[in-house]
Structure 1
Amino acid sequence: MEEPIVRVDHLSHRYSVQWAIRDINLQISKKGVFGLLGSNGAGKSTTMNIICGVLNQTEGDVHINGISLREDPVQAKRYIGFLPQRPPLYTDATVDEYLMYCARLRLMDPKEVRSAVDRAKEKCGIMHFSRRLIGNLSGGYQQRVGIAQAIVHNPPFVVLDEPTNGLDPNQIVEIRHLIKEIAAERAVMLSTHILPEVQATCDEIMMIEHGRVVFTGSLRDFNNYMAPSTFVLVLEQAPPVEELAAIPGILKVEHLTPTRFRLHFDGEDHGMTRRVAALAVEKGWRPSEIMLERDSLDTVFAQLSGKGVASLHTGAHTDAAASRS
């Protein structure tokens, strides 16, 4: 079996008397995007900072490419690229000046610095900004410069903390595409709390809540967990709510408007909407729309950490896919 690029064993860290994370275990393969999810204060930033060598753990071990980060941090960090949530940019420097400085910080062979900087600029689409002051670039291109500094030394493992934070929709799409390109050649750990970003970029996912792992698995596993459990039904000739609630498999009905209803059902019953649509046609209720809803990521955080979610259900967002009759 191939040795993972990152192996974390029983990682724990305590600030003063309070544990920030407890018994975190994970392995990251050598290619693809590994999503690290968690709500604010869950412990994901602590986990990332330890893995990147910014913070020393209280307990546990981190190995990067088989090298102990605690025992040989300088050698281990040669294999890591890191983009914090706030990119560490020097805005009074040009793109070339900054990236060459970053390459030297990584203890690269001076003979390789120029070509390494050019490769990073080309990969991140900023070659034409080589002599531009970083402070004069847009937010999206500044983020690209931040990613370029993380890969300038060609590390096999890159950590990106909220890389699309503060970007406009077009910039977000561009950065997500760039992340997928980078992950084709190396392992990328992506920290985010944005559900579409998770589903657009990640291959494997780990979710942390209250300092502990509450979910780990593939994107498919995650999407199965996110299976919809409600749908909105629009009926032009609506029956009494009690008649809808009596449909086998329906757990609850909310009367939203005179013609619009939200029906709760067991998310594992994948044929529910199809059966309800057929019944509505048979009964003459004149159905005009059925829309599945998916929970927000905040709701999933609450579910996985054992909190009640009834008050959060109103934050569910509608799935883009809707079936209309």
Structure 2
Amino acid sequence: MHPILKTDRLSHKYSSAWAIRDINLEIERTGIVGLLGSNGAGKSTTMNIICGTLNQTEGSVLINGTDLRQEPEAAKREIGFLPQNPPLYTDLTTDEYLVYCAELRLMEKTRIRSAVDEAKERCGITNVSNRLIRNLSGGYRQRIGIAQAIVHRPKLVVMDEPTNGLDPNQLIEARKLIREVAQEHAVLLSSHILSEIQVLCKEIVMIESGRIVFADSMDAFNNYVQTNSILLRLENPPASVELLRIKGITGVEFLTATQIRLRFEGDQDVMERLVAASVEHGWRLREIGLDKGLLDDTFKQLSSKSHQ
């Protein structure tokens, strides 16, 4: 069995500067792998090479065992791509657009109708089959973008910032859909937002300054990046002195009227004590989680350790 995606020493140079250097990735199964990096870290270059829209300077990309550079047509049949701004033709209906996308992927004509219907059902857009795309909401447009990426049933689906710019309801729906897609496809999801990667991905690859600085499971990442603060939201928060009475809490900072950052010492059992205190005193806890800090700080921490 070939890995669904394998890159070997992938490197690319713009003019005289290396954008990425020795990027080694391997995805062997379905699920979501997060590609995380700050703006300018090399994520887009990496994804463009993997999708075949940019030729690398050095290294190779294998899609299900097929070399993308040597056999681009065969390899690209196994790739679905959702750019940050979905490539929609807004003067077409949903059906017209998805049929067109299937034809671009050189699908057999006898398979196109059933493939389009399947993609629409999976993405929840059957009810807008005959609507012009320009008349649809941002949430529906994002779903159509995902549908075009899976209509030809690829093994690998690459998504660039797929939840960027969505409102909270659309965000929840998009996350649910991405998880469903990942049950049958390998998904490589790019983002510069750490919290988005944490919510969606089980594995994470971090790129900084064109190089991989971390590649492991999300659990390993959470254990690697230590924190001693908690973020929580209380609809009926108490005074700081009440929170400081909870064992392990050493500092209280109100970020807003309801959002609070707490410093703590010891293990993470303090979260259980916070939940219990909220129930007992009617603080109406709405959110609680470890504060992983600023993404830039995380990059600095990982980058410094990677060069030691």
Written as runs of structure 1 = structure 2, the 5 A alignment for 1:52-91 is 52-91=51-90
Query: Who is 1:220 aligned against?
Result: 219
Query: Who is 1:12 aligned against?
Result: 11
Query: Who is 2:234 aligned against?
Result: none
How far 1:236 moved relative to its partner? Answer: 5.5
How far 1:254 moved relative to its partner? Answer: 7.1
Query: Who is 1:235 aligned against?
Result: 241
* Residues 292, 133 of structure 1: alpha-carbon distance in 2 compared, 3 angstrom cutoff: closer
Query: Who is 1:296 aligned against?
Result: 294
Report the secondary structure of 2:304's partner residue: coil
Written as runs of structure 1 = structure 2, the 5 A alignment for 1:91-240 is 91-230=90-229, 234-235=240-241
Does the Cα contact within 8 Å between 2:7 and 2:61 map onto a contact in 1?
yes
| Cα distance between partner residues in 1 of 2:108 and 2:119 | 16
Does the Cα contact within 8 Å between 2:240 and 2:252 map onto a contact in 1?
no
Does the Cα contact within 8 Å between 1:176 and 1:197 map onto a contact in 2?
no
How far 1:256 moved relative to its partner? Answer: 5.9
Q: Which runs of 5+ in 1 are unaligned?
A: 240-248, 278-287, 308-325
* Residues 238, 170 of structure 1: alpha-carbon distance in 2 compared, 3 angstrom cutoff: closer
Does the Cα contact within 8 Å between 1:30 and 1:156 map onto a contact in 2?
no
Q: Which runs of 5+ in 2 are unaligned?
A: 232-238, 255-259, 275-282
In structure 2, give the amino acid aligned to 1:146: G
* Residues 256, 173 of structure 1: alpha-carbon distance in 2 compared, 3 angstrom cutoff: closer
| Cα distance between partner residues in 2 of 1:80 and 1:108 | 13
* Residues 37, 234 of structure 1: alpha-carbon distance in 2 compared, 3 angstrom cutoff: same
Superposed CA deviations along residues 217-274 of structure 1, whole A, max 9, x for unmatched, are: 01111221234223599436989xxxxxxxxx99xx87869xx996476xxx526959
CA RMSD, Structure 1 to Structure 2 (Å): 3.0
Report the secondary structure of 2:119's partner residue: helix
How far 1:304 moved relative to its partner? Answer: 1.7
| Cα distance between partner residues in 1 of 2:168 and 2:261 | 32
| Cα distance between partner residues in 2 of 1:294 and 1:102 | 40
Range that drifts further, 295-304 or 134-143: 295-304
Report the secondary structure of 1:108's partner residue: coil
| Cα distance between partner residues in 2 of 1:124 and 1:261 | 38
Written as runs of structure 1 = structure 2, the 5 A alignment for 1:26-41 is 26-41=25-40
How far 1:4 moved relative to its partner? Answer: 1.1
| Cα distance between partner residues in 1 of 2:151 and 2:289 | 46
Does the Cα contact within 8 Å between 1:28 and 1:187 map onto a contact in 2?
yes
Superposed CA deviations along residues 132-166 of structure 1, whole A, max 9, x for unmatched, are: 00000000100100100000000011001011111
Does the Cα contact within 8 Å between 2:229 and 2:261 map onto a contact in 1?
no
* Residues 96, 236 of structure 1: alpha-carbon distance in 2 compared, 3 angstrom cutoff: closer
Report the secondary structure of 1:33's partner residue: strand
* Residues 135, 61 of structure 1: alpha-carbon distance in 2 compared, 3 angstrom cutoff: same
Of all paired residues, the percent bearing the same amino acid is 59
| Cα distance between partner residues in 2 of 1:237 and 1:8 | 50
How far 1:306 moved relative to its partner? Answer: 2.8
Range that drifts further, 119-128 or 296-305: 296-305
In structure 1, give the amino acid aligned to 2:241: L
* Residues 111, 216 of structure 1: alpha-carbon distance in 2 compared, 3 angstrom cutoff: same
In structure 2, give the amino acid aligned to 1:96: D
Report the secondary structure of 1:10's partner residue: strand
Does the Cα contact within 8 Å between 1:21 and 1:47 map onto a contact in 2?
yes
Does the Cα contact within 8 Å between 1:150 and 1:158 map onto a contact in 2?
yes
Higher RCO (CA-CA < 8 Å; seq separation 6+) = 2
Alignment TM-score, normalising by the size of structure 1: 0.78
Does the Cα contact within 8 Å between 1:234 and 1:261 map onto a contact in 2?
no
In structure 2, give the amino acid aligned to 1:167: L
How far 1:204 moved relative to its partner? Answer: 1.0
| Cα distance between partner residues in 1 of 2:267 and 2:252 | 23
| Cα distance between partner residues in 1 of 2:300 and 2:157 | 29
Query: Who is 1:305 aligned against?
Result: 303
How far 1:3 moved relative to its partner? Answer: 2.6
How far 1:203 moved relative to its partner? Answer: 1.6
How far 1:167 moved relative to its partner? Answer: 0.6
User: What count of residue pairs does the alignment treat as equivalent?
Assistant: 280
Does the Cα contact within 8 Å between 1:226 and 1:295 map onto a contact in 2?
no
State which structure, 1 or 2, has the greater radius of gyration over its C-alpha atoms: 1
Report the secondary structure of 1:153's partner residue: coil
Report the secondary structure of 1:224's partner residue: helix
Superposed CA deviations along residues 100-157 of structure 1, whole A, max 9, x for unmatched, are: 0000000000111111110110110000100000000000100100100000000011
